[in-house]
Chains A and B, each alone.
Chain A
């Protein structure tokens, strides 16, 4: 480990910053000082305040989803189904999935950090449509209330995938209510995506050409396109499920000539790109943090951009790999398998480029860097095991086992959540105007890394041995690995609770942050921490690329 960070500027200042660094303004509170009442927050049009509103809301849902996961891991600590009944267990994994996917992961980086950073990084005063931006938060809350209502009414047991005909004909739980919640929250993502697209196109500072954009912007831009094109498909598909459930209209019902497989096609047409909605912004975050703490420009910038676009476009064409055993045409399976291998290429380009960025860098293991490096490693493991599942023959044995669970948790939790936490730490000085306690943050990052691996690596082995997902009891020979996994989950829970406390503490007692505590090159670091209401005192002019860090000190 290198020296801990002390003092206002731990790094040598840039020899030629893109914009002259301004003297710190006497007004330390920036946008946070624009109003202290609840009303001033709930009626704000400031993208930075809306980002904070989102952060609070998704944090609540993160711990709701986490509580459900905790119950599941407790149940699975013993082979017998003794803690909760099978029905309750079904509801637990459903609510865990629904909440984590739609109420945490999808809005996490785009709606919190995208909202906060997109205008700052491109030198704009706000998003293109500030009122729409606030509306999207209210839509999110409304969707959340419906889902919470469904929870109070007794939950839902279909799994987050709502497969027909179970969801349309047989489940006697609150399917329609949850679908309504997911439907509503979808429009919140769509509006955020629309805002990011228009803002990126129209509000870039003079001189900020497309190939001078930070990769975080590229990633969020590509994500927004997916949000815009995929989310409405889910909205309509779930509407059809709800209508079928209420009126028996038959699009998915074989008795009326409908087809349950059509549901799976439509659902995964959304839900596979949704995986990229969750991982692309995380890649954007890693691409900001790694160059900063390696003190090097990102390796292969243009290929990073192309890889983002490649992932976003090929991601639309691989949905059938969720349906290899569903009875879809074998030839469709072959094509989908091939395309799924294809999407690994741009992903691998990104991993190699992050690694090459580190080469001969002057690496500082700060907390955000620990998260970013953890992200790269875990994403690589998750991605490689994804190739197992993309192989037709292997997938036949691995489908619906814990191997799949472990695979997508390595991407979603090991990838996206690590990156989200890394981003929260990296930009915390900008968001709150305070420094977080560095040593504690490093401990939390490592706790999360070890807890995560301990939770999910045994699940690869369990899946390989044939333990199926979505059961609340299992044969005794699986117990050892399950106990490992449950213990890891406890460590992970501690790791997730730590930032909640020390970040909360730092809000009041943390050291005041300078404008650019990391010596980073992004435009967002050229304004105060926290930034003033309209971000910049004068519109910045950009004259160079995004990661021109000085050579190693």
Chain B
């Protein structure tokens, strides 16, 4: 790979990092219209959204939240280890990818169970379900890309070390972003008026 445009590795690392931050800004705006659609529905059809929320599998959703937060922790450890030049970063990367896969598996089983209920829903509740599938689905697509990315870094772990770790750092930024999106999605879909029951 030609890197002639950079004067030194430091500049290259800074460019990669800024590039990822800029990309994440785009990502936030990409999710934006879905959040707007949600806010509109949540205000205009509050009761329907609360009803839809009660159909969610809250145990699986909470478990998934725990899994994803843990994966962010292991990702942070991977970045830290690679910056310190410790080879343990490979283990942490592997664990991160596995946790991501576990999340996707659980999410898939939730979808499987919910498919039947959707066919019974109508009107604004259907809209709730749609937003749920669209937003968690888009999140799952992002997470899948993250898993592939982290798996790819894991496979090519030989390339990275104290001198060159910016790919791991940048993948970490992306991973945390995907995690943060879920931190918003979880209460939005699983926790509407749960206290009422």
Contact = CB atoms under 8 A, between A and B. Distances in A.
Nearest to A267: B33
B60 interface: no
Contacts of A507: none
A235 B32 CA distance: 10
B36 interface: yes
Q: Which 7 A-B pairs have the closest CB atoms?
A: A232-B30, A249-B130, A257-B124, A126-B5, A236-B33, A232-B29, A250-B127
B5 A125 contact: yes
Given A202-B11, A250-B127, A257 B36 contact: no
Contacts of A202: 6, 11, 14-15, 18
A230 B29 contact: yes
Given A126-B5, A129-B19, A262 B37 contact: yes
A534 interface: yes
Interface of A: 45, 119, 124-131, 190, 194, 197-198, 201-203, 228-233, 235-237, 240, 243, 247, 249-251, 256-259, 262, 265-266, 534, 539
Given A232-B30, A266-B33, A256 B126 contact: yes
A190 B131 contact: no
Contact of A198 (B22, B26, B29): B22
B194 interface: no
B133 to A, nearest CB: 9
A257 B130 CA distance: 12
Nearest to A266: B33
Interface stretch (B39-47, B85-93, B109-117): B39-47
Interface of B: 1-2, 4-7, 11, 14-15, 18-19, 22-23, 25-27, 29-34, 36-37, 40-41, 44-45, 48, 123-124, 126-127, 130-131, 134
Contacts of B40: 251, 258-259, 262
Contacts of A201: 15, 18
Best-surrounded residue of A237, A257, A262 (most CB of chain B within 10 A)? A257
A233 B4 contact: no
Given A243-B134, A251-B41, 20 more contacts: A45-B2, A119-B5, A128-B5, A128-B19, A129-B15, A129-B19, A190-B26, A198-B18, A203-B11, A231-B26, A236-B31, A240-B37, A249-B127, A249-B130, A250-B124, A250-B130, A251-B127, A251-B130, A258-B127, A262-B36
Contact of B25 (A127, A130, A229): A229
Most buried by A among B2, B19, B31, B134: B19
A425 to B, nearest CB: 28
A253 to B, nearest CB: 8
- Does more than half of chain A's interface fall in helix, strand or loop, or is it mixed? helix
A243 B130 CA distance: 10
A344 B23 CA distance: 30
B123 A249 contact: no
Nearest to A131: B1
B32 A233 contact: yes
A128 B15 contact: yes
Most chain A CB atoms below 10 A, which of B6, B18, B31, B37: B37
Query: Which of B23, B29, B45 has the most chain A CB atoms closer than 10 A to its own CB?
Result: B29
5 contacts: A198-B22, A230-B29, A247-B130, A250-B130, A266-B33
Nearest to B49: A257
B26 A194 contact: yes
A190 B7 CA distance: 25
A194 B22 contact: yes
A118 to B, nearest CB: 12
Nearest to B44: A257
A125 B22 CA distance: 22
A199 to B, nearest CB: 8
A94 to B, nearest CB: 22
B36 A266 contact: yes
Given A202-B15, A229-B29, A127 B5 contact: yes
Contacts of B48: 257
Contacts of B7: 539
Given A202-B11, A236-B34, A262-B37, A228 B25 contact: yes
A229 B37 contact: no
Contacts of A233: 29-30, 32-33
A12 B44 CA distance: 69
A130 B32 contact: no
Nearest to B35: A236
B2 to A, nearest CB: 7
A214 to B, nearest CB: 19
A85 to B, nearest CB: 35
B5 A198 contact: no
Contacts of B30: 232-233, 235-236
Contacts of A190: 26
Contact of B32 (A236, A247, A257): A236
A194 B11 CA distance: 16
A205 to B, nearest CB: 10
A249 B32 contact: no
Contacts of A131: 1
Contact of B126 (A124, A127, A250): A250
Nearest to A228: B26
A257 B123 contact: yes
Contacts of A262: 36-37, 40
A534 B6 CA distance: 12
Nearest to A119: B5
A77 to B, nearest CB: 41
Contacts of A124: 5
